[in-house]
Amino acid sequence: MEKERLLLLWWIKTGQHQQLSQRLGRDGSTVTRWLQKYRQGGLEKLLEVKTSPGATPKITTEMRSQLEEKFECPQGFGSYQEIVEWLKQEWNVEIKY
């Protein structure tokens, strides 16, 4: 997507304003929105891509580290169910299969 936005600027700067949305394969409102972003905050604002935060991971970095240590031990885990039970006992975290 960054490439398209940079192309948009290049075409405008070089006087190639004709049919920008069609050349980019984007809706006209998208091109307008990109140009507004550029006017408001320059290149940094134009290239900013927002991402949704998504769900918070149930397994933290510390949990993961302990899991990795346990995997390396000879006794480790015998099954996925044992991992699920360990997470429940040690961290009070319930993981579904």
Confidence (pLDDT) at 96: 75
> pLDDT tens digits for 46-83?
888 777 778 777 888 898 888 888 887 878 788 888 88
Domain boundaries, the chain: 2-47, 53-97
Q: What does the pLDDT read at residue 60?
A: 85
From the number of C-beta atoms within 10 Å of its C-beta (0-12, 13-18, 19+), residue 21 rates as: middle
**Nearest alpha carbon to residue 59 among 67, 70, 48:** 67
> Is residue 97 scored above 70 in pLDDT?
no
